[in-house]
Amino acid sequence: MSKELEKTFLNALEQNQQKLLRICSVYAKDADDTKDLFQEVLVQIWRSMQTFESKSSIGTWMFRITLNVCLRFRSKENKKQKQFIQMDSITIAKFIPTKEDYGEQEKLAHLKSCIKKLNEAEKAVITLYLEEVRYKEISEILGLSENNVAVKVKRIKKKLLNCIIQIA
């Protein structure tokens, strides 16, 4: 691989590493799985660097690869009957009304529990949304219209809020 592609890869990784790690953590059952999944994501991105065509931003392209790797991982894990989600680094204030009797860990636990109930498509949408990816980029990553993404986010937020209220 050329030095220019290597430099592009390293720069893009530096800008997006934390977001990619958080996405991996959504689909992994623990910290070790997150690291393994992240390594697989990096390998796939590295292998695909020569095919990047700049039709979207490199970050959007990396998110797409990350989600594809994570979904394949989940598919394998589901076959093994292991379904765990780690959401430790995701902002939860967007979904849970502030109550003095809830600690942040309790809010996070409620959110994790509710996100486990979502289907894979909904998890992908909400994970990217929570990473503050713009609707336009989410639409490019998932192959949906921007309007469809907005509708899905609104519906998922309502689902999560209803779920959290039932738990609380």
Domains of the chain and any CATH numbers: 1-86 (1.10.1740.10), 91-168 (1.10.10)
**Region of 96 on the Ramachandran plot (φ > 0 left; ψ -120 to 50 alpha; else beta):** beta
Average pLDDT over the chain, rounded to whole? Answer: 82
pTM assigned to the model = 0.68
pLDDT tens column, 5-15: 889 999 999 99
For 9, residues 6+ apart whose C-beta sits below 8 A from its C-beta are 45, 46, 49
pLDDT tens column, 26-85: 888 888 888 999 999 999 999 999 888 888 889 999 999 999 998 888 777 655 543 334
Q: Which of 88, 38, 90 is nearest to 65 (CA)?
A: 38
